[in-house]
C-alpha cells in the first residue's frame, strides 16, 4: 500500500523508495496503526500532503484509524533512498545521489566543484552543471554534452 503512495515532487518514487517511512506499528492507544515519517527536510512543503496520502491509503485498505507521526531526528539523508528508488530516479531522468561522506561533516558545501555525473539518458560522463538548483532546492540542473539533454541531479544530503 505504501509503495503506491508517491512523492508529489518526484512522482517516480514512493514514500518507501524515498526512505521517509521510518516505522509502521500498532497504535498505542487503541485499534489502528501509527506510521512514523521523517520528512526530507523540516520545511518540505509536501509533508502535509504526504501524511494525508499515507493515512488515506492505509485507511482505504482497512487498516484504520491511522495516525501519522513526524520524526525529525535523526534527520533524513539521501542514503535512505532504496536501491530500487535510485534505479527509478535514473529511469525518470534524474541522476541519483551518491553516498554521503560522513567523515566530511555537513555534506552541503557553498563552494565546491560540481561532481562528475553520468547522464541518466545516455550514460555519458561528459556533463556540466547549469544551475546549483533545479525544480526544487534538493536538485541541481545539469546538461549532457554528448546527447545535449538536460537532466536533474538529486543532491546528497
Averages of pLDDT over each 10 residues, the chain, 157 residues: 93 95 90 93 87 96 93 92 95 87 54 74 94 86 95 87
pLDDT tens digits, one per residue of 25-40: 998 888 889 999 999 9
Give the per-residue pLDDT at 104: 56
pLDDT tens digits, one per residue of 102-118: 665 554 544 456 667 99
Q: Are 64 and 32 in contact (CB under 8 A)?
A: yes
Question: Could you tell me which of 35, 32, 46 has the C-alpha nearest to residue 69?
Answer: 35
Give the per-residue pLDDT at 102: 60
Rounded to two decimals, the pTM is: 0.74
Give the per-residue pLDDT at 138: 83
Cα–Cα dist 22/152, whole Å: 26
Please list, in sequence order, all residues whose beta carbon lies within 8 angstroms of the beta carbon of residue 107, skipping any fewer than 6 positions away: 100, 101, 156, 157
Domains and CATH numbers, the chain: 2-70 (3.30.300.130), 94-154 (no CATH)
Give the per-residue pLDDT at 58: 95
Amino acid at each position: 500500500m505504501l509503495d503506491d503512495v508517491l512523492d508529489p515532487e518526484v512522482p517516480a518514487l514512493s514514500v518507501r523508495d524515498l526512505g521517509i517511512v521510518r516505522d509502521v506499528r500498532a497504535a498505542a492507544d487503541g485499534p489502528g496503526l501509527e506510521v512514523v515519517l521523517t520528512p526530507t527536510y523540516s520545511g518540505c512543503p509536501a509533508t502535509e500532503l504526504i501524511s494525508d496520502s499515507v493515512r488515506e491509503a492505509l485507511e482505504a485498505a482497512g487498516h484504520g484509524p491511522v495516525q501519522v507521526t513526524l520524526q525529525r531526528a535523526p534527520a533524513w539523508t539521501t542514503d535512505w533512498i532504496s536501491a530500487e528508488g535510485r534505479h527509478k530516479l535514473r529511469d525518470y531522468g534524474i541522476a541519483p545521489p551518491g553516498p554521503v561522506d560522513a567523515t566530511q561533516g555537513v555534506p552541503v558545501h557553498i563552494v565546491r566543484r560540481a561532481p562528475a555525473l553520468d547522464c541518466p539518458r545516455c550514460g555519458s560522463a561528459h556533463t556540466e552543471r547549469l544551475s546549483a538548483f533545479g525544480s526544487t532546492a534538493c536538485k541541481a540542473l545539469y546538461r549532457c554534452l554528448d546527447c545535449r539533454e538536460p537532466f536533474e541531479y538529486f543532491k546528497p544530503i
